[in-house]
Amino acid sequence: MRNVKLGVMVPTVNSTMEPELYRMVPKNVSIHFARLAPEVDYNVTLSLERLLGYAQEATKAAKSLAIVKPNVIAFGCTSGSLLQGIGYDQEIIKRIESTTGIPGTTTSTCVIAALKHLKMKKVCVATPYPDWINEKTKEFLESNGIGVLRITGLEDKCIISDEPPENVYRLAKDISLPAADGVFISCTALRTIEILESLEKEIKKPVVSSNQATLWMMLKMAGVSEEINNFGTLLRSF
């Protein structure tokens, strides 16, 4: 297999996405990260200013990643790439590609592609978000043709990366409805990869998470179709 490089821009407060992608990525694929670090008050949980700031930092971060010549560059923030509604993710992608000449994507773009690939037309959504971001997430999914039967957030968290995966498991299990085609767990800072397989077995439906979907889409864009086991149905489905 040829060597493939993936570039990912990740919010500076996110300590989950890097180790999760490293654990899932196949051999001969390397991942290179740049931090999105807008000058905002990080003591305010998931502020509008901070989320918009991540997108504003995308051009600078993409330039730094372009130096290592990755095959794909991803904007690795779910809510930060859907905040302004349908088409906002595509604006960020255009910014990446016009700056670097390298194919780009965003986590929200990858999630939509993954849900459609698995034919998940109606989903239940688990998040770490406050209600106002949950509403934006619901609007974005439904604008892209994905029905949201239920969306529920954890308690307001200052440091999402510190949330134990067993709490995420319980939330995702509790919100799953019989009428749903599966569950989507949103946020690249939320630890999910330890629970994907067991959760799918328990609810007997596919589960898509932000980090899993981001890696899946980037690999597809880079021409890698190697089946990856132990991290849910999606990564076995190229």
Predicted confidence (pLDDT) per residue in 42-79, tens digit: 766 678 888 888 999 999 999 999 999 999 999 999 99
User: Among 96-110, 152-166, 222-236, whose mean pLDDT is lowest?
Assistant: 152-166
Output the pLDDT for position 44. Answer: 67
Measured N-to-C along each axis, helices 17-24 and 210-221 cross at an angle, to the nearest 10 degrees, of: 50
Output the pLDDT for position 119. Answer: 98
Q: Is the pLDDT of residue 98 over 80?
A: yes
Output the pLDDT for position 39. Answer: 81
Q: What does the alpha-carbon distance between residue 151 and residue 127 come to, in Å, rounded to a whole number?
A: 8
- What residues form DSSP beta bridges with 75? 9, 106
Answer for the pair 118, 208: CB distance below 8 angstroms, yes or no.
yes
Output the pLDDT for position 37. Answer: 85
Model confidence at 3, in pLDDT bands (50, 70, 90)?
A: confident
Output the pLDDT for position 52. Answer: 87
Q: Is the pLDDT of residue 1 over 60?
A: no
Output the pLDDT for position 49. Answer: 86
Secondary structure class of 74 (helix, strand, coil): strand
Across the chain, how many H-helices and E-strands are there?
9, 8
Answer for the pair 34, 10: CB distance below 8 angstroms, yes or no.
yes
Predicted confidence (pLDDT) per residue in 174-221, tens digit: 999 999 999 999 999 999 999 999 999 999 999 999 999 999 999 999
Predicted confidence (pLDDT) per residue in 113-128, tens digit: 999 999 999 999 999 9
Output the pLDDT for position 97. Answer: 98
From residue 108, give the alpha-carbon distance in Å to each of 77, 89, 215.
8, 7, 12
Looking at residue 23, what DSSP letter applies?
A: H
Q: What does the alpha-carbon distance between residue 17 and residue 232 come to, in Å, rounded to a whole number?
A: 16
- Model-level pTM? 0.95
Predicted confidence (pLDDT) per residue in 16-38, tens digit: 999 999 999 999 999 999 999 88
Answer for the pair 62, 99: CB distance below 8 angstroms, yes or no.
yes
Q: Is the pLDDT of residue 158 over 70?
A: no
Q: Is the pLDDT of residue 157 over 70?
A: no
Retrieve residue 175's tokens: 């919100």
